[in-house]
Structure 1
Amino acid sequence: MTSGRIVGEIDKATALAVERTRLALERTTMAWIRTSTSLIAFGFTIFKFFQYRRETNADTIASPWLVGLVMIVVGIVTLVLATIQHRQQSRALREFDPDQPRSLAGLVASLIMLLGLVALVVVACKL
């Protein structure tokens, strides 16, 4: 081993260990994506619910704008942090096996982040 890289061919056991680690990283990232999606969707739903209650002249305890905005921002920040961690760990695994496939979890995270930003703009524009 030289400077963190394996020289030459890696044996089958090491290749399988790297693959298991890569798949565990993908599962962890997908769990963070599910959590972030739930936060974003919950924030948008709370915003719409409180907005409806305000339109029907019902008393509301909290500002629908503030509650929805906070939940959506927490979801987006969570997803950004998970994406950063995923990229760092993927880069470390590529040192052992440069021929690893691209991450689909990273692509899904980007799409959900875009969805979260759209929800954030919708809520922010309803000020």
Structure 2
Amino acid sequence: MINNPPNWQTELAKQRNRIAADRTLLAWVRTSMALIGIGFGLERTVSKLYVGVETTSNAPMFLVKLFSLLIIGTGTFAIVMAAFDYQKEMKRLQQPNYYYMPRQSLGIIVSGLLVLIAISIFLTIWRQAIIN
């Protein structure tokens, strides 16, 4: 049985793809940590501002906590999905017949979630402004 030497162009391309996958994973980690930090910061900041403030309703705090949790959840979802995507890409790179496979963009999914959260925040604030 004759072993064919590896094609150096293919091996270098695989190495570039692995490095690109590493950079992409790290970018998603940064983005996810920023989302999680924004969610925590929003909740903590508003909680500190509302300490000692007498209100007739807990609705504003509930909404802030809800939106903070949604932002934290989006960041957590993004980091988990990025890790799964990275792991899948590493397995694909180990295959001898590596080829391009189109897939759904995690950026589009996370952007869509953030747009939905932003629209719901906007509508909530708008409704509160109309009521008052």
How many residues get paired? 91
Larger-Rg structure: 2
Equivalent runs, 1:6-25 vs 2, <5 Å: 8-25=4-21
Q: How does 1:13-92 map to 2 (within 5 A)?
A: 13-57=9-53, 61=60, 63-92=63-92
Partner of 2:114: none
After TM superposition, the score normalised by the length of structure 1 is: 0.63
Q: 1:16 to 1:52 in 2, by over 3 A?
A: same
One-letter amino acid of the structure 2 residue matched with residue 32 of structure 1: W
Cα distance, 1:26–1:42 mapped onto 2, change above 3 Å = same
Give the CA deviation at 1:58: 7.9
* Closer, same or farther: CA 20–27 of 1 in aligned 2, 3 Å: same
Q: CA RMSD in A?
A: 2.3
Q: Identity, % of aligned pairs?
A: 27
Looking at both structures, which has the greater relative contact order when contacts are Cα pairs under 8 Å and sequence separation is at least 6?
1
Tell me the CA shift for residue 64 of structure 1.
Answer: 3.1
Residue identity in the other structure for 1:89? E
Question: Mind listing any 5+ residue stretches in structure 2 that lack a counterpart?
Answer: 97-132
8 Å contact kept, 1:43–1:72: yes
Unmatched 5+ stretches in structure 1:
1-6, 97-127
Q: CA deviation at 1:11?
A: 2.1
